[in-house]
Amino acid sequence: GVGGGASNWLTDTIKCARGGAAYTPDLAAHQYYSDISANVLGTPQTLAGKTTTSPVGGVLDAADAYFTAVAGGSTVSYIAIYKDTGVPGTSRLLLLFDTATGLPVLTNGGDISVAWDNGVNRIARLLWT
């Protein structure tokens, strides 16, 4: 599974969160949602329609994520995907995107959609060696 066998993309609750500009990623130390939660803007959304191909060259995909009526005045600088266990300190971070078309985005009270790639990579492509 994703995260060294710690997560099952298809059966676990996987969420997408928007992170603010104040967050500085620390890929060596930040492992759980609690490590980023102080910088998350609004309510994370549960990914629906998840699919995967595996094991070699596994591709992770899901329906696009939608955040409605996002309060204005903030900057979304990253998108985090994590396995939600219901406890922030055990909800493992899986993916962090800080470079993508549309990032950063200034919030203005409107909706924000996170549209995943429709090409071969989708949300992520896992390459096993």
pLDDT 10s digits, 17-70: 999 999 999 989 999 999 999 999 999 999 999 998 865 558 899 999 999 988
User: How many other β-carbons are positioned within 10 Å of the β-carbon of residue 7?
Assistant: 17
Largest CA distance in the chain: 45
pLDDT at 88 over 50: yes
Can you give the C-alpha Rg of the chain in angstroms? 14
- Distance, CA of 53 to chain centre: 19
pLDDT at 127 over 90: no
Q: Return the minimum-mean-pLDDT range out of 10-19, 26-35, 118-127.
A: 118-127
- What confidence score (pLDDT) does residue 54 get? 64
pLDDT at 112 over 80: yes
Look at the block and give the residue holding tokens 């490590």.
Answer: 35
Region 63-91: what's the mean pLDDT? Answer: 94
